[in-house]
Amino acid sequence: MAALPLLALDVPRSFNAAPPVRHAIAATLLRHNAALLLAREPARDPLHRVLASRWRPGKRGFAELVRLALVVAADHELNVSAFAARVVASTGAHLHATACAGLAALSGPRHGGATARAYALIEDAGGAAPRDWIGARWERGDELPGFGHALYPHGDPRAAAILDQLEHSAPGAPAMQRVRQLADAAEDIAGQRPNLDFALAALAHAHGLPAMPALVLFAASRLTGWLAHALEQQALGGLIRPRARYVGVAAQA
């Protein structure tokens, strides 16, 4: 978030509205954002290979798992970060400013930060029996980060896709068995199924990674969606300016 505005200073024609120019800037920004998230030099390889080689170099099938996660997490209609990015884009701001707006929104614990909370839930379960541990949290009134989604009362299809591929890529792995047991216990006891945050956290946990790669994966992926929203909004033109209606105490005559 701190570096992107500085990178924008060296981008020629950053306010040029021509589609080829905007698309070229967007492609470069995707690579630079990934490099910043990984603390490495920008690479020209596909994004999923860049991330996979940084986290689990040479691990068979891991790059394709990362690719799947990037695809399903890239866009989710007008979520908080996408809407923030689209509003900024509607002002005519350059794409780096749009990316900063999206990252700022994503950083909140109720949005992108939820991946860390879901990861902590998996880690905190430790060696406890999953049903007992989930049941104890539920009885205390503790929330279950990584479970349930307002838009998917019957289960988040994005999470299902990632978890299915995780199980396929590591059948019988103890870490993956643990993840599945927690997911089954949450559904049986609380009636809640895994969402995208849990799936990204499970991906990191199952491959022996810390919590941060789950958020990095989310941010690197979602930037693609933000840029698509920004390019579309700027092509359409017009400023996003919702109206507010006062519903407080009426003025006295």
Which amino acids are annotated catalytic?
Answer: 111, 149, 197
Residue 46, helix vs strand vs coil:
coil
Q: Which token pair is 174?
A: 């103890």
- Nearest 5°: CA angle at 84, between 110 and 194? 35
Task: Report the C-alpha gap between 31 and 93 in whole angstroms.
Answer: 20
End-to-end CA distance of the chain: 50
Distance (Å, whole) CA 65 – CA 204: 11
Tell me if 60 sits within 8 A of 68, measured CB to CB: no
CA distances from residue 135 to 128, 129, 177, 192 in whole angstroms, order as listed = 11, 10, 18, 12
Which of 147-158 are b and which e, b meaning 16 or more Cβ less than 10 Å from the residue's Cβ? bbbeeeeeebeb
The residues, ordered by sequence, that sit 6+ positions from 138 with a Cβ below 8 Å of its Cβ are: 144, 189, 190
Give the separation between CA 108 and CA 81, rounded to whole angstroms. Answer: 10
Angle between helices 174-190 and 130-140 (to 10 degrees): 40
